[in-house]
Structure 1
């Protein structure tokens, strides 16, 4: 149990995994992964429906990701709400704001409405950001006190210690992935060294965000083992101690897997 790993952000439902999804999860299991969170990104993404694959528990979110802003309709919010009503274990996400994507006004409207749904249904958030951390905080501010105790995860954290502490002080965990394996990511590496260990969770963002040494390759959930090795080295702490704490934190955040046979998100 001490070395169990939880990949808190893996797009295992993407088409790139269709031909070898079970083998991918088997490799993850062999590396110590015992749970994977699969965020939602758009209404029409085909979803896998299992509670587990190869003894790895699967958890789910539902959300409208800014990458697909041109596909989203404002009416898709009704579908998001329907999914939350039907599936009590679903989180809200992956949602967020991205300065590299089009239609900022539409992004903001969809983001705020999904945060409102998270408040209404008392679900935690999986937050995407790109050049937008301050914008996220601006839009989140009116809702922070009404979100559940475990407010959620800032996915793919990159930034300074001051930015990290700001999110942690507001009740969010920081998703730590391949970024910290690059020595050039000095600010982020310094931040994850300094924040409390229980403020961090592991992630891969597979198939994206390849680790150092794996550039140009499809990322996989098995590589959280490499992420945590780098994290333990940066912090000067034992791998086993870091793994134990991050597993406990992740399980507290996401207490129960999907348990029905009708997960269609």
Structure 2
């Protein structure tokens, strides 16, 4: 079984096809999904999706693109919202200097607030990092010095240096369909060197559909295509990657029940 550790089932792309997308995921051997928050204001939407489907969990947080809309979010608010039984993570939060949709100082402050909430709850922080490697690394090092917390670098497309910093600090690294792209040889080299017990796979759907689906709306079922390439990169079987990444998700997102306790898929 595979787990799509990061998708966005609340996005309009799934409005008419959510149940179908989840059913297709199950048919493809993707037994669980985590729908990731981008805004505190939409918390009820994420929660309702997770409550509707037994095999979907959710997170709570503010994406760096939305940080300027929710600058006053407190760690206490995040902790309270994270109390729901199916909320298994904080985030996604971080820094994005590619689009710079939020002032950098505000995004950094919101990022630190999410780290505080992750530390208080023991839930992993889902980190968004794009074109901001040095500042993300500096914040992670500074905050880890204040007290440890669990986290992962999601949809990893950053530098080897950030991957090494994250691994040094105990973080996990998640790869999306970008890993399958023809021009991603350097990223595959980085993935090859990430320890097996720190690897995750994700779709980040509806974005970044993997080969051979590029140009289409991505969906959780297609995390299997990324897993196949990751298996090739690591020189192991697809089954081994599926087993290892699933074990890693359950270890990191430890609030999620073990597989034996899973209910029906739909």
Question: TM class by shorter-chain length?
Answer: 0.7 to 0.9
Query: Are the structure 2 counterparts of residues 95 and 22 from structure 1 closer, same or farther at C-alpha, using a change threshold of 3 Å?
Result: same
Q: CA deviation at 1:75?
A: 4.2
Query: Are the structure 2 counterparts of residues 50 and 161 from structure 1 closer, same or farther at C-alpha, using a change threshold of 3 Å?
Result: closer
State the SS of the aligned residue for 1:171. Answer: coil
Aligned equivalents of 1:214, 1:249: Cα separation in 2: 26
Alignment-derived partner of residue 63 in structure 1: 61
Superposition map of 1:78-93 within 5 A:
79-85=77-83, 89-93=87-91
1:220-265 deviation line (CA, Å, top 9, x unaligned): 000011001111112221111111111111111123349xxxxxxx
1:8-33 deviation line (CA, Å, top 9, x unaligned): 00111222212110100000001100
Query: Structure 1 length as normaliser, TM-score?
Result: 0.87
The question of whether the paired residues in 2 share the 8 Å contact of 1:161 and 1:192 is answered with: no
Unaligned residue ranges in structure 2 (runs of 5+) = 258-266
The question of whether the paired residues in 2 share the 8 Å contact of 1:51 and 1:57 is answered with: no
Query: Structure 2 length as normaliser, TM-score?
Result: 0.86
Query: Are the structure 2 counterparts of residues 88 and 11 from structure 1 closer, same or farther at C-alpha, using a change threshold of 3 Å?
Result: closer
Aligned equivalents of 2:116, 2:74: Cα separation in 1: 14
Higher helix share: 2
Q: CA deviation at 1:88?
A: 7.9
Aligned equivalents of 1:88, 1:222: Cα separation in 2: 21
Count residues in correspondence.
251
* Pair 1:250 & 2:246 matched: no
- RMSD of the TM alignment (CA)? 2.1
Alignment-derived partner of residue 42 in structure 1: 39
Alignment-derived partner of residue 262 in structure 1: none
Q: CA deviation at 1:52?
A: 6.2
State the SS of the aligned residue for 1:256. Answer: coil
